[in-house]
Structure 1
Amino acid sequence: MGGPSGGRPGMAGAAAAAALLCALHVHAACQHATVTQELLQAGFHRELLVKVELGEGGEDAGGCTVAARIRLPPGIYVDPYELASLQRHNLTKAVLVPAAVDVEAPEYSATELLVLLYMEPDPWCSRCFRAVLPMHGRYHRPAEDSEEASVVLKSPEVLRCCCDNRLSTECWTPAEVEAPCSSKPDGPCQWYSTMRKPVPEELILQVPVGLRQHSSIVCVLTLLATGLCSSLILAAVCKHGHFSAVTSSE
């Protein structure tokens, strides 16, 4: 009687250890997605290059859609008209939330923008995806001693959509995304969020800003330029315009 009863704690401990090792193995296998960001061009008009590598531990991405959910701070915006033009030429595909964007609003009165950027497969890497998002810096308040304002871009979230539900529930969690899956655009499809390796450093965008001590000079030059242009336009109209008297008949 003592042998079997004494073996039960050992069996329970072995089972617990096996379960822990299995959980650690699954957790390690899920840490496979890597996201990198790169800023292209300079000034107010930039391009954000996003690269995603699912790694060797993930499922095959064939037949699935991979997207990056990017949260743009108020200092950056995406022009919906520019994006629509690029989508007509199959250059970039993305969904904006909200869809209406005030492109004239300055940074201090703008709101955060959510972008779902659809990724394209990399022909040189079976588990790699990439996409380019055009974005623009907003005007900031004049600064005291710096000619640039820093806008921090956080790492995007990796999303996948497989309408045949082939994703592992240990590595993927359901995500609330109000956007169609390109593999099945006419029907409902569940998006999933994957674990990813954290980016060591956040991406920082430098936006040119004016200096506060130059405000008076800018105002004077603006008034002079406006007055000069208005005078030239008025002179051209008086010299080359054709005026005719208009009479009304009773």
Structure 2
Amino acid sequence: MAGGLRGAEAVRAGLAAFFCAFHVQAVCQDTTVTQELLKEGFHRDLLVKVELGVVGEDTGGCAVAARTRLPPGIYVDPHELASLQQQNLTKAVLVPNITDVEAPEYLATDLLVLLYMEPDPRCSCCFRAALPVHGRYHRPAEDSEEASIVLKSPEVLVCCCDNHLSAECWKSAEVEAPCSGKNIGPCQWYSIRHKPTYEELVLQIPVGLKQHSSLVCVVTLLATVLCSSLILAAVCKYGHFSLVTCSE
């Protein structure tokens, strides 16, 4: 008899755990994150779109951001970003906030970006933001004329100053950045608990070939000598020279 009671209790506990897990999965739907590279060449725009999949969660008055780590092959120009932020075209926090824009790929480091997102008027739970990114110069390659830079899908963060998000769907995140919600004071950032389907975005950067190094050096030297000669000839022909004597 006691064994039967213990078996029934185990069945009830199992059913309770099952329905609890089913309820959490039903409430906490996956968040959709998509990335797209606009324009061509070394200077691109990274467009990030987020669709929150939390059912019945009130995100009014909350700030949504995408935290992504850019590999050494690309960078964000802090001066360009500051200019865009003055025009209210974008808002982001760079870590570190000082970036060597002239460094090649093999001397650069990763860059952490917290990109604040704006609501998308076409969807009540959708947000989007664009960030200008630039490709760095790479070492010459052996046989490929392009270098591949992999951009991983960003982490979705939410900062709510007026309300709280359900602990079932969100977890606290350590983010040292201000919240762009209604209140000026500090508030807690949250990261989505159920990860979306991460897809990698690949950026192709043109690179030179090592077998062309000698040709490039010769052409560069000849072009430098030719341009220098033309400048010197123009100065000698059209320049005005005068002797200046110094007197006490």
Compute the TM-score of the two structures, normalised by the length of structure 1.
0.91
Report Cα offsets for 1:88-119 as digits up to 9, x if no partner: 11111111111111111111111001111111
C-alpha separation in 2, matches of 1:185 and 1:95:
19
User: Residue 61 of structure 2 contacts residue 182 of structure 2 at CA under 8 Å; is this kept in 1?
Assistant: no
Report Cα offsets for 1:30-59 as digits up to 9, x if no partner: 233110111112211111111100025261
User: Residue 116 of structure 2 contacts residue 129 of structure 2 at CA under 8 Å; is this kept in 1?
Assistant: yes
Aligned pair count reads: 247
C-alpha separation in 2, matches of 1:20 and 1:80:
50
Specify the alignment match of 2:61 in structure 1.
Answer: 63
| Equivalent AA in structure 1 for residue 164 of structure 2 | R
Q: 1:114 aligns with which of 112, 115, 120?
A: 112
Consecutive unaligned residues in structure 1, runs of 5 or more: none
Q: 1:167 aligns with which of 144, 148, 165?
A: 165
| Equivalent position SS for 2:212 | helix
Q: 1:85 aligns with which of 78, 83, 86?
A: 83
Closer/same/farther in 2, CA of residues 58 and 205 from structure 1, 3 Å limit: farther
Q: Within the alignment, does 1:197 sit opposite 2:196 as a pair?
A: yes
Closer/same/farther in 2, CA of residues 111 and 175 from structure 1, 3 Å limit: same
C-alpha separation in 2, matches of 1:222 and 1:178:
47
Compute the TM-score of the two structures, normalised by the length of structure 2.
0.91
C-alpha separation in 2, matches of 1:238 and 1:186:
65
Closer/same/farther in 2, CA of residues 17 and 52 from structure 1, 3 Å limit: same
1:1-250 paired onto structure 2 within 5 Å: 7=5, 10-11=8-9, 13-55=11-53, 57=55, 59-184=57-182, 186-194=184-192, 195-199=194-198, 201-250=199-248
| Equivalent AA in structure 1 for residue 196 of structure 2 | K
Question: How far off is 1:184 after superposition?
Answer: 4.7
| Equivalent AA in structure 1 for residue 154 of structure 2 | P
User: Residue 74 of structure 1 contacts residue 111 of structure 1 at CA under 8 Å; is this kept in 2?
Assistant: yes
Question: How far off is 1:135 after superposition?
Answer: 0.6
Instruction: State the identity %.
Output: 75
Question: How far off is 1:228 after superposition?
Answer: 1.6
Question: How far off is 1:13 after superposition?
Answer: 3.7
| Equivalent position SS for 2:27 | helix
| Equivalent position SS for 1:219 | helix
Closer/same/farther in 2, CA of residues 13 and 82 from structure 1, 3 Å limit: same
Report Cα offsets for 1:122-165 as digits up to 9, x if no partner: 10100001111111111111111111111111010000000124
Consecutive unaligned residues in structure 2, runs of 5 or more: none
Report Cα offsets for 1:190-244 as digits up to 9, x if no partner: 1111133213x41111100011111111111111111222222222333333333
Question: How far off is 1:185 after superposition?
Answer: 6.7
C-alpha separation in 1, matches of 2:100 and 2:26:
43
Question: How far off is 1:23 after superposition?
Answer: 3.0
| Equivalent position SS for 1:196 | coil
